[in-house]
Amino acid sequence: MKNNIEPLKFGAIGNRSLFDDYEITSSEHQDDNCNIEFSDSKIVIKGERDILEKSLANYKIIKNLSKGHHFENYLPRSMKFDADNNLEIKLTDKAVPLSKIQNLEQIHANWILSRMIEFVALISKFNYTHLGINPDSIYVVPKTHGILPITFYHMKKLGDRIDNDVSNKYYLYYPSNVLSNNKASYFIDFELAKRTIASCMTGSLSPAMKEKYNSDFVDFLLNFNKENPKEVFEKYRKIISNNFEKKFHEFKI
């Protein structure tokens, strides 16, 4: 299957950003395996050595597969153990975890979800699924309108057995109808991405989001996608094109 996924550039109607005066008050967060600290220059991931080694090994697999492809822009430029046996990611531009963002405006939800959908489509092109997309594993890069996945320890080849190798903290993000067959699939990653963006908007995914956000956008989040990654991406592109103005909106954090 050929997946010609190219970055989608768009904005949305409206000029005001909720984050003109937004301030991140804590530089720490936790997923179900690691404690994570971040600054403007680096991200430090602390956890059990075997978990960190697995994440690093999977990162290197995807990094090598993506050489010469624009997909490299969706990955940390480097990841390595520091002197304290923590995983360290050096940052070129400021990045913050999605778990630190609440009441996200539609204009920014649009492009952040687009980047996650692109990431899912591209990683599936290499025959892998991330299986750990959540607000603590995905960072957003305001300057470039990019995203940065920072952990890879749940990653598996498409079709491999899952065997409960999922996030305990975000277990309810996983679609039960897909988990039941115990096979890694891009369907899981798409549903994780949807629930991740919803958590930044209203805290959880529900039809009530339509009271504040675009109805077609929310319907996309609520409906399970049975199409292949390229078709899902094109469906989302069409929703954005039909509902929003193409415009770059600065994201200030």
CATH number at residue 200: 1.10.510.10
Give me the pLDDT at residue 7, please: 46
What pLDDT shows up at residue 25? 62
The pLDDT of residue 20: 43
Nearest alpha carbon to residue 137 among 108, 173, 162, 105: 173
Q: Three-state SS for 147?
A: strand
Question: What's the number of CA atoms in the CB half-sphere (13 Å) around residue 157?
Answer: 3
pLDDT of residue 24: 66
Alpha-helical (H) ranges within 126-185 are 176-179
Strand 80-81 and strand 96-97: the pairing is unpaired
CB 170 within 8 A of CB 32: yes
Whether the CB-CB separation of 243 and 219 falls below 8 Å is answered with no
DSSP 8-state secondary structure symbol assigned to residue 181: T
* Nearest-angstrom CA–CA distance, 159 and 171: 20
Quote the number of domains for the chain: 1
Q: What angle do CA 143, 145, 151 make, to 5 degrees?
A: 100
14 has pLDDT over 60: no
> What is the reported pLDDT for 21?
43
Residue 176 is predicted with a pLDDT of 86
What was the pLDDT predicted at 23?
60
| Domain containing residue 229 | 28-243
| CB hemisphere CA count around 186 (13 angstroms) | 22
175 and 192 in contact (C-beta within 8 Å)?
Answer: no
Q: Give a yes or no: residue 7 inside a domain.
A: no
How far apart CA 197 and CA 208 sit, in angstroms, is 15
pLDDT digits (tens, 9 = 90+) for 48-75: 999 999 999 999 999 999 988 888 888 9
Asked if residue 10 is part of any domain, the answer here is: no
Which residues, including other chains, have CB under 8 Å from residue 251's CB and lie 6 or more apart?
17, 19, 108, 140, 142, 145
Residue 6 lies in a domain: no
Tell me whether residue 18 is in a domain. no
Q: Pinpoint the alpha helices (H) of 7-105.
A: 49-65
Over residues 159-189, the pLDDT tens digits come to 999 988 899 999 999 988 888 889 999 999 9
Q: What is the dihedral of CA 51, 43, 121, 235, to 10 degrees?
A: 130
Q: In what order do the strands lie in the sheet with 146-149?
A: 96-97, 138-141, 146-149
pLDDT, averaged across the chain? 88
